[in-house]
Chain A
Amino acid sequence: MRKNTKRAKAAAAFYDMDGTLVKTNLVHALLFQAKNQQGVLKSITRTAQITASIPVFFLTDLYNRSVFQERFFRSYKGESEDRLRFLSEELFEEVLKPSIFPGAIDLIERSRSIGLRQVLVTGALDVTVAPLARYLRIDDWITNRLEFVDGFATGRLLPPVMVNATKASWIRTYAEKEGLSLHESYCYTDSISDLPMLSVVGHPAAVNPDFRLRSAALQNNWPVLDLK
């Protein structure tokens, strides 16, 4: 494979994670944490609570991604930071690694081979993302981070919260800081909520898109990729 030596300026490939590179979503990670609480009873109770909340998560996500995130991360309230970090490798091995789409690794490899910096821009939590990013040899990643007080999650997120337009805003700032050409950069996501992020790069692509993103991609002549 050859490197593209003609690129005038450095550029990057920005990826959303859930639904784009892996088939899992935020709820899978939360369920894994719930299932692995200290004590069987606690695990069963937490799992039941989360399971009962899934329809609410689904509906709020349909309504608005910001509202969903606010509601969703509240579920982490009271979780210990140590435990979340302790379980992250296990979460990766048991849940995330088997869920990587077959085409995702190839896409990243091809993208790297033409000299693009690999960057994850995701609304998932830092503890969840780090092992996956290392496995995929991602150069840089920005995630959501829980606020912890005395080692326990408050259920709130620390700024910057990675959702909708803030992802696009972060990409702009990052590209400026790193001297990257957005015109020559690529961006991949599966959800219409990431439309702003797609709109700031020269090579946007919809990956395994939902109906709304597929329509937007077709209207804009953006490539539609199926990595499944």
Chain B
Amino acid sequence: MLLLRTLALLRRIFLIEGIMALALRRRQYDHVVHIDTDSQPRILHYGEDFLLEDLPIGTRVVYPKPPIVGLPNPEAAIRYALHHPLDSEPLHAQLFPGMKVTIAMDDISLPLPPMKTPDIRQQVLEIVLDMITAHGVDDIHLIVANSLHRKMTESEMKRMVGSKIFNAYHPDRFYNHDAEDPEEMVHLGKTDHHEPVNINRRAAESDLLIYVNINLVPMDGGHKSVTVGLCDYESLRPHHEPQTIIDSDSYMDPAQSALSRKCERMGKIVDEHMNVFHIETALNNDMFLSPMSFLARNEDHFSDKDWALFNMTRATLAKLPRTAKRKMFFQFPANYKMIACYAGKTEPVHERILKHCFDQYAVPVKGQCDILITGIAYVSPYNVNSILNPILVQVMGPGYFFNMYRNKPVVKKGGVMILTHPCYDDFDPAFHPSYIEFFNRCLPDTKDSFELRAKYEQEFAHDPNYIQMYRRGNAYHGAHPFFMWYWAENGRKHLSKIIAVADNTYVPEMLGFDRASSLTEAIHMAKSIMGRSAEITMLHHPPIFMSDME
């Protein structure tokens, strides 16, 4: 009897310890789990499709934090920010009849995917415009700060600001920035590092420039908003280049980013010449609308309904052509909610907003891995309503996802990155014409960023065809694919190999990747380099997050 009781007690103790050990192993943090024998397979984005993969036992999977609850009354938050700005007079105190006001705003690259209407920009603009017009200001222009990105289409602009504002201001007083219009650019000066600061003339010559920002990743916002969003090619060259990327560790961490430092230097020149009132907002990461919200969660916590919905979605996608799938995905807006809004001088505003961004996006992760796995979805900042072409696949993998860290990369130096995307050879000829030539003409010649910049970048930047397509169409600037290539410079230098799990056989090779036909094969290939006991981490993007490395 005593023996039986002792055995039962021991069993309970071991059971509890076992559960505790399992729990500890699995729940290093809420958003970091380890694959075990009883773990569910993991969902990886694969362009416009999904892969469902059993990962090796011991694989660490990092998830985004759950969405921070949005502000209950965003309008009140915006009004409070305008009336209580940081290091600046309240907006209403800066207004006087007859003054010239320009309102610049982030373009369609933010947020991703476009958010449910009303867009935050619309909410901010409605309040700001009411206030400005009430003070007798008539000379108001609204400019999309698209920099060298493609110009937004009319329907996209209308969706962004709402039909009331659109109808009142478009096309004469609401338009896209044109970095290639020499008449509409003005040189403000040079930094002490000889970086030229050329800015949109209307913005520079206004009595007040109001910038309406949306912050999704820490690279955005701050001085980058004006110095990049409203600049020209010559002003962009000093920091959109490979050495600046190499000098940034990483460019997603403003404190360690040479890109941010250069923008700050240029921003000081802007502040010397212009009166800038910055309105920055931070969003939560509530990316998926209700039926698909499970995609952001740990698969071990999926209900039967979630799995049924996932399997149904996957089966439907398998039957659709790629263009239809893409169109379908872009029909689903994100459910983002505003979690903070500040206004005033650029630097203090950005500092506050960054804190909120990190609260949402920074995920603590302990220890680097040998093999990093990440899925690549259908969207990037540069292909809204368009195709994620091979160069953009590259910018998402060894570019953005590699760089989404603070302190040190998630993967060790010399490690391997595995990304999953079909890597189809498909480009949008209207949005990405110069990408086509870059991919087919430049990459077969060299993949070295410095050589590409020296040999081809200026030619593409000054190509009259690409300039016209940028100015009169909706094309990205001729130099844009080069910037996208430089964006992945640190990933390429840091990693010993990048393996694409892809359908296409030659696109990965063109990008300098190895190719595998399945994730299992890719992991075997990676282990052949990193050893059988290689530590594997999967980043469960999207929603995006930053790994705060310990």
- The chain A residues found within 8 Å of chain B, CB to CB, are 1-2, 4, 6, 13, 102-103, 106-107, 110-111, 113-114, 116, 186, 203, 205, 218, 221, 223-228
Contact = CB atoms under 8 A, between A and B. Distances in A.
Given A1-B182, A2-B462, A114-B464, A221 B436 contact: yes
Contacts of A225: 465, 468-469, 472-473
A103 B427 CA distance: 25
Interface size class of B (residues with CB under 8 A): 20 to 34
Contact of A106 (B458, B469, B471, B473): B471
Interface string B469-481: 1011100000000
B400 to A, nearest CB: 27
Interface in B389-446: 427, 429-430, 433, 436-437, 440
Nearest to B468: A225
A2 B459 CA distance: 10
A164 to B, nearest CB: 23
B465 A103 contact: no
Contacts of B467: 106, 110
Interface of B: 182, 427, 429-430, 433, 436-437, 440, 458-459, 462-469, 471-473
- Max chain B CB contacts within 10 Å: which of A111, A205, A225? A225
B429 A106 contact: no
A227 B472 contact: yes
Given A2-B458, A4-B458, A221-B429, A227 B468 contact: yes
A21 to B, nearest CB: 12
A102 B178 CA distance: 15
A4 to B, nearest CB: 6
A23 to B, nearest CB: 15
17 contacts: A2-B462, A4-B458, A13-B464, A103-B468, A107-B464, A107-B468, A110-B464, A114-B463, A116-B464, A186-B464, A203-B463, A218-B429, A221-B436, A223-B466, A223-B469, A224-B433, A225-B469
Nearest to B234: A2
Contact of A4 (B427, B462, B472): B462
Nearest to B440: A221
B465 A205 contact: yes
Contacts of B471: 103, 106
A186 B469 CA distance: 15
Given A2-B458, A107-B468, A227-B472, 12 more contacts: A1-B462, A13-B464, A103-B468, A111-B464, A186-B465, A203-B465, A218-B429, A224-B430, A224-B433, A225-B468, A225-B469, A226-B473
A128 B466 CA distance: 30
Q: Top 3 closest A-B pairs, CB basis?
A: A110-B464, A223-B465, A111-B464
A184 to B, nearest CB: 10
